[in-house]
Structure 1
Amino acid sequence: MTRSDLVTRLAERFGQLTQRDAEFAVKTILDTMSEALAKGHRIEIRGFGSFSINRRPPRMGRNPRSGEQVLIPEKLVPHFKPGKALREGVDKVDTVTHAEASADHSDQPQKD
């Protein structure tokens, strides 16, 4: 799902929102989340998951072209940890999909 798909689904689900209002809402939410993470804050959305910043320490790497060692500086990277409800929901959908696929193939005769 892309950002524009999300805007379209939001506008369809809430008839009182225009496409433009839905786009503004999605942009505002994502911008606010980005700003909070940039400031080092943690974001927790119950039932969905949490966003935080992880620190990657500096390390020695290797230039693939020349083979010489290069110092890779420290980085701060965003990290998402799914919540229990999201993990279980995804696992449930995956289990149902696999069960349906197995049932579809069990009706077919076995080839020798």
Structure 2
Amino acid sequence: MTKADIINKIASETDINKLQISKTIEAFMDITKDSLGKGENIYLRGFGTFEIKKRAEKKARNISKNITMVIPAHNIPFFKPSRHFIEKSKKQ
């Protein structure tokens, strides 16, 4: 499902026009990116949590060049679905 599909589905189920829905979704995504960039988690009860996970520094090998390289410590975004979200997705 694409963002356009989501906008169309919300528009068909509500009386909100597509432009307002699009602006709302864009604002949500911007706020989510900004918050995660600052290291803040986002908790959506009944849906899940957007978190930042810290990955430790590690050694890796580039087998095509036969060299060892160090991948520095870094943060990655992570989504953890709520129990309700998991149970609902299993039923479908």
Q: TM-score range by the shorter chain?
A: over 0.9
Spell out structure 1 runs of 4+ moving beyond 6 A: none
Q: Structure 2 counterpart of 1:14, which letter?
A: T
TM-score, normalised relative to structure 2: 0.93
Q: How far apart in 1 are the matches of 2:3 and 2:42?
A: 19
The share of aligned pairs that are identical, in percent, is 28
Q: 1:65-87 CA deviation, whole Å, 9 max, x = no partner?
A: 11110111111001111101101
TM-score, normalised relative to structure 1: 0.77
Q: Give RMSD over aligned pairs.
A: 1.0
Instruction: State the number of aligned residues.
Output: 92
In structure 1, what is the equivalent of residue 42 of structure 2?
A: 43
Q: Structure 2 counterpart of 1:44, which letter?
A: Y
Greater strand content = 2
Please state whether the residue corresponding to 1:66 is helix, strand or coil: coil
Please state whether the residue corresponding to 1:40 is helix, strand or coil: coil
Q: Structure 1 counterpart of 2:56, which letter?
A: P
The structure with the largest alpha-carbon Rg is 1
Q: How far apart in 1 are the matches of 2:76 and 2:20?
A: 31
- Alignment of 1:13 with 2:16, yes or no, is no
Q: How far apart in 2 are the matches of 1:81 and 1:90?
A: 14
- Gaps spanning 5+ residues in structure 2: where? none
Q: 1:12-56 CA deviation, whole Å, 9 max, x = no partner?
A: 2222x2211111011011111111111100111011111110011
Q: More relative contact order in 1 or in 2 (CA 8 Å, sep 6+)?
A: 2
Q: How far apart in 2 are the matches of 1:4 and 1:90?
A: 22
Q: Structure 1 counterpart of 2:24, which letter?
A: A
- Gaps spanning 5+ residues in structure 1: where? 94-112
